[in-house]
Every structure is written in structure tokens, then in C-alpha cells.
């Protein structure tokens, strides 16, 4: 059955279910319910082809996006929800999807969910080949969205978790400001550590903006939908923690010349020697500001730092913040 032809059995609307089960959005969990079916359909369409694929939805809540996913007939749908209050509404969808989608409900924190178990029946795809039929989608809570994304980028760099099976894609919501940072290019005002880290390992695409008025309760900001597809060849082949340390430290002094940020990667007694040497090795202009460096230039800075840390092992574990304390 084609996904666009599928009609779910008659079900109460999301608004009716929220009233029926007295489901109030909890501020401490950053919950905002997306009500407009046209927007949830558009969101799922942005994820690409999901018919007969494997989907994991993060934080389904009462199930608005879940309904739009089910209508496209994925082979398997795993929903991971931290709040057990939504179990009855999700079980309604689970029952309605029987016969065409294997829907599995997991009550727990997505940060501890084992994707390798959830997708264990999937074929492992060649990283350099086609993307696997695996998609992570979700309306992420604002409070954990950036932390979660960085964790997943780390997993991508190691080709583990959901990326054990290949270049699994992600279509996720973020505060509009965060979404703009993810896709920000060189010299743009939103350019930051997150921009570089995402673009080192993924091709990123800002799909569309969801107005805050589409959510209940209405958040103070609009929401951006972003798709991330892991690159066949990441721009840097170094340990994630090392790259993150370098990029974070350089952006720590965003408005100053890169020289200022790079210097504090090294103990004080080595800064005058190793700071200029790093820029020479990386062939990067030390008077540029961090947001003016391309992803490729950041990659060269990271490789230069790795070369110097091999020569001076004491700098690898150095943290200028710790030294201040």
C-alpha cells in the first residue's frame, strides 16, 4: 500500500486526547505539542522516503508527528518517550498501525536508548554506499537538543549506535536560532562551534521554519527543521574529543583574532613557540576571526594541533580553564 493512500482508522484528535487524558505540557521537560497535521505531514516529508524504512521518533509526546509517520507506512517505527503519561495515546496509534507498521513503544530517555538493539535486524550498509533505510526524526526538547546532537555527532564519528548500520539520516527540530547556527556558513553572524562540528561530519540542510504559534503551549521562539546526512568522507579524521576541544577553544574568543584562541590550547611556557607554529603548519591566517575560518581551515588547524600534541604529549591533556581554577 502506498504511503500516501493510507488512512488511519477513526481516532480522536490530538487536542481531544490531550483533554481526555488531561495532558499538560511540563516546562521542566521542555514540552511543546505540535498540533497542525499539515505541518507534521510537511515535517515527515522533509525526512525523505520512509515507506518500508526503519524510523526512530524521539519524544513523540501525544503522537502528532507519529500519525504522519504511520501514514507513510514505515516497516518499523520505534518511538522513545521519556514521559509515561503519553503511553495511552501512543498505544492507540500502535493498535491502529497493526498490519502495516511494526510500532514499538519505549518509555525512557533517548540518551540511553540502544539503537544497535532497536535496529538489530537491519542490514549493515557500506559507509561509502547508499544511505541505509534508517531515519531519526523528532521534535526535540529545547533543553537537550544541542547536547543530544553533539552526542550523535560523536557516534557518527565512531560509526556506532544508529550509525553502525551506515549513514543514517536525521530530521530534527531545534530553536530557530540553534537551527541557523547548525547551517551557518563562513562569516555569517550565527557561525559558531556547533556550525563547524556539524559540518565536519554531516551535510546539513535547513528545511523550513515552524512558527511558535503552531505549538501548545506557544514557545517564545520559532522552530527550525534541519536534516543532517553523515558525509561519506568527514572533513577531519581525528578523535571527536580532540576536534571538539580545538574548535570550542578557538571559538571561546569569537570576536578576537584566531591567534588568541589557539594560544590557550597550550601551557603558558609553550604558547609563544607553539601558537605561531600551529598556524604555519595549518597554513591559516592567524589574524582571521574564528567565524571567518572555513571548515577545511578548521580541519587543518586540528591536524596541526595533533602533530604538535604528538611532539609535546603534555599539551594533549592541557585545559586552560582547569589551570585557572
Residues 225 and 244 in one domain: no
Segment 214-232, tens digit of pLDDT: 887 788 899 999 999 999 9
User: Three-state DSSP class for 171?
Assistant: strand
CA distance 270 to 46: 49
Q: How many CB atoms lie within 10 A of CB 317?
A: 8
What pLDDT score does 175 carry?
A: 95
User: Three-state DSSP class for 256?
Assistant: coil
> Which secondary structure element, helix H or strand E, spans residue 203, and what is its range?
strand 202-210
Q: Per-10-residue mean pLDDT for the chain, 325 residues long?
A: 57 68 54 84 96 96 93 96 92 92 96 96 95 96 93 98 98 97 97 98 98 85 96 98 97 92 95 96 96 98 98 91 61
What pLDDT score does 220 carry?
A: 85
Domain boundary among 206, 230, 254: 230
Residues 98 and 246 in one domain: no
Q: Give the ranges where the chain is alpha helix by DSSP (H).
A: 14-20, 37-46, 64-70, 87-96, 115-118, 145-158, 176-183, 193-201, 240-251, 258-263, 268-282, 295-311, 320-324
| Domain membership flag for residue 127 | yes
Residues 173 and 304 in one domain: no
Domain boundary among 230, 258, 289: 230
Domain boundary among 195, 210, 230: 230
Residues 260 and 142 in one domain: no
Segment 58-91, tens digit of pLDDT: 999 999 999 999 999 999 999 999 999 999 999 9
Residues 130 and 245 in one domain: no
Residues 220 and 312 in one domain: no
Residues 163 and 249 in one domain: no
What pLDDT score does 1 carry?
A: 42
Per the structure, the complete domain to which residue 170 belongs is given by: 3-230
Domains held by the chain: number:
2
CA–CA–CA angle 247, 249, 250 (5° rounding): 65
| Domain membership flag for residue 235 | no
What pLDDT score does 323 carry?
A: 52
What pLDDT score does 320 carry?
A: 82
Amino acid at each position: 500500500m502506498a504511503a500516501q493512500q493510507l488512512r488511519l482508522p477513526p481516532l480522536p484528535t490530538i487536542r481531544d486526547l490531550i483533554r481526555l487524558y488531561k495532558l499538560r505540557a511540563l516546562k521542566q521537560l521542555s514540552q511543546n505539542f505540535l498540533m497542525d497535521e499539515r505541518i507534521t505531514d510537511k515535517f515527515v516529508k522533509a525526512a525523505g522516503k520512509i515507506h518500508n524504512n526503519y524510523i526512530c521518533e524521539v519524544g513523540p509526546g501525544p503522537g502528532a508527528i507519529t500519525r504522519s509517520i504511520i501514514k507513510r507506512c514505515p516497516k518499523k517505527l520505534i518511538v522513545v518517550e521519556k514521559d509515561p503519561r503519553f503511553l495511552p495515546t501512543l498505544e492507540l496509534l500502535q493498535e491502529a498501525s497493526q498490519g502495516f507498521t511494526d510500532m514499538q513503544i519505549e518509555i525512557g530517555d533517548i540518551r540511553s536508548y540502544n539503537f544497535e538493539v532497536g535496529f538489530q535486524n537491519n542490514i549493515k550498509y557500506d559507509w561509502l554506499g547508499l544511505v541505509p533505510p534508517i531515519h531519526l526524526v523528532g521534535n526535540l526538547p529545547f533543553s537537550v537538543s544541542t547536547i543530544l546532537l553533539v552526542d550523535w555527532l560523536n557516534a557518527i564519528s565512531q560509526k556506532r549506535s544508529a550509525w553502525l548500520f551506515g549513514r543514517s539520516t536525521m530530521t530534527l527540530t531545534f530553536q530557530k536560532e540553534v537551527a541557523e547556527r547548525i547551517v551557518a556558513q563562513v562569516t555569517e553572524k550565527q557561525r559558531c562551534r556547533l556550525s563547524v562540528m556539524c559540518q565536519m561530519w554531516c551535510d546539513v540542510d535547513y528545511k523550513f521554519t515552524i512558527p511558535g504559534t503552531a505549538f501548545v503551549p506557544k514557545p517564545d521562539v520559532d522552530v527550525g527543521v534541519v536534516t543532517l546526512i553523515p558525509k561519506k568522507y568527514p572533513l577531519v579524521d581525528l578523535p571527536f574529543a580532540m576536534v571538539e576541544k580545538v574548535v570550542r577553544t578557538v571559538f571561546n574568543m569569537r570576536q578576537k583574532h584566531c591567534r588568541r584562541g589557539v594560544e590557550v590550547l597550550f601551557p603558558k611556557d609553550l604558547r609563544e613557540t607553539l601558537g605561531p607554529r600551529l598556524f604555519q603548519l595549518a597554513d591559516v591566517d592567524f589574524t582571521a576571526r574564528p567565524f571567518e575560518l572555513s571548515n577545511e581551515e578548521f580541519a587543518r588547524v586540528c591536524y596541526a594541533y595533533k602533530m604538535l600534541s604528538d611532539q609535546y604529549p603534555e599539551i594533549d591533556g592541557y585545559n586552560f580553564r582547569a589551570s585557572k581554577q
